[in-house]
Structure 1
Amino acid sequence: MPKPSKGPRLGGGPAHERLLLSNLANALFTHGRITTTETKAKRLRPVAERLITFAKRGDLHARRRVIAQLRDKSVVHTLFTEIAPQVEDRQGGYTRITKLGFRKGDNAPLASIELVLEPVSSTPAPVKRSAAPAAAAPAEETPAEETPVESTETTEESAPVEAETETPAAAEVEADAEAKSDDAK
């Protein structure tokens, strides 16, 4: 007896499930985004990502494996010539699932699954700091020409703790507190 595939069963037997996932993958590669139930979207994700990985390899054996699963040569051509070059630099995560709410008729949870075709950025976005130190500087000492700031990767470090200096106001508050504590005894 064959072992059932991991995850929820979609429809009847394994053959029906393979056909259903194949048709969903065809629609995803044709349109770029489809709306279906959450369960089908979650089951489609690994299938679609595996097919995209084959398309990134681009050799004849990979093309034949994809054709065996999708059965539509025009979709396979689109996958290999248009989609694969757009995700060449991406190491995975070719699809995105977004939950949409519930279907009106049977209250089934809906989700949108789409291809992630944006180029991946190799460096994280720079963290913008507030301009508080620049505002604290006196207005007289502003330079006539501002120099551009280099963007370098920085790690956040805690500022060194300064030694506490006793001000006359602080000394007065402490003396007052000691006097009140002596009265309470």
Structure 2
Amino acid sequence: MPQPKKGPRLASSPAHERLMLANMATSLFANGRITTTLPKAKRLRPLAERLITFAKRGDLHSRRRTMRVIRDKSVVHKLFTEIAEQMAEREGGYTRITKIAPRRGDNAPQAVIELVTEPLSAKQSVVKEAESATKVAAKDEAAEVNAAADAAIAEGAADQAVEQAVEANETGENVQTADQAAIDLEKTADQADQAEASAQEEADVAEDAEKADEDK
């Protein structure tokens, strides 16, 4: 008989094991918690959290992938509407395993696996919002700095081209070529200035939106 790759086999065959885990996941999403043996709870947890991740995506492809495991349409509907909404602010850790007393008779270790439906604490919510705001501000600041650097480079090149044009006028050599280069580089400098102004405007809009969210 072939041996499983990870952990002990929970049923007589791999197909039986998949069906058993699918039934357990269905019961978990339908009831919010189930009591089972500790090895089964540990094997169920990654499957359940993967299905919740699909539900949070909410697209048709994710729904079809979930339907391959959970065949009860009412449970799938609950997963994609109620449970996904409850887990919207969480980035993982959707389930919790709690050990309980061993089972009477064979003394097998038992555990309760349940969905973590408690809302995030106020401190965690504030930290998460601060991290998001910091990422947005850093991105806007980087875009503004890059635009300013490009504008400075273009402005320096334009000044150099103007100096070359003046020297060419004085010497009478390559006058037309130097003048055209100066005009082109001045256009580049103007475009860089416009890009810098646009980046500054976007940064101001993002800052205003962040302040509005804080006021709420």
TM-score (normalised: structure 2): 0.55
Structure 1 SS opposite 2:114: strand
With over 3 angstroms needed to count, the CA separation of the structure-2 counterparts of 1:63 and 1:3, relative to structure 1, is farther
Amino acid in structure 2 at the alignment position of 1:25: A
Equivalent positions of 1:15-94 (< 5 A) are 15-94=15-94
The share of aligned pairs that are identical, in percent, is: 69
Amino acid in structure 1 at the alignment position of 2:67: I
1:121 Cα shift? 2.7
Structure 1 SS opposite 2:101: strand
Amino acid in structure 1 at the alignment position of 2:11: G
Structure 1 SS opposite 2:43: helix
Counterpart Cα distance in 2 of 1:124 and 1:53 = 20
Show the counterpart of 2:120. Answer: 120
Amino acid in structure 1 at the alignment position of 2:8: P
Show the counterpart of 2:132. Answer: none
1:4 Cα shift? 3.0
Counterpart Cα distance in 2 of 1:45 and 1:124 = 23
Structure 2 SS opposite 1:36: strand
Counterpart Cα distance in 1 of 2:55 and 2:62 = 7
Structure 2 SS opposite 1:99: strand
More deviation in 91-100 or 5-14? 5-14
RCO comparison, higher one (Cα < 8 Å, 6+): 1
Structure 1 SS opposite 2:123: coil
1:72 Cα shift? 1.0
Amino acid in structure 1 at the alignment position of 2:82: E
- Corresponding residue pairs, total: 125
Counterpart Cα distance in 1 of 2:43 and 2:5 = 10
Deviations 1:129-169 (A, max 9, x none): xxxxxxxxxxxxxxxxxxxxxxxxxxxxxxxxxxxxxxxxx
Deviations 1:44-91 (A, max 9, x none): 000000000000000000000000111111110010011000010001
Amino acid in structure 2 at the alignment position of 1:23: N
**Which one has the bigger helix percentage?**
2
With over 3 angstroms needed to count, the CA separation of the structure-2 counterparts of 1:124 and 1:68, relative to structure 1, is closer
Show the counterpart of 2:13. Answer: 13
> RMSD over aligned Cα, in angstroms?
1.9
1:122 Cα shift? 5.7
Amino acid in structure 1 at the alignment position of 2:106: D
Structure 2 SS opposite 1:34: strand
Structure 2 SS opposite 1:98: strand
1:5 Cα shift? 4.3
1:96 Cα shift? 0.3
1:124 Cα shift? 5.3
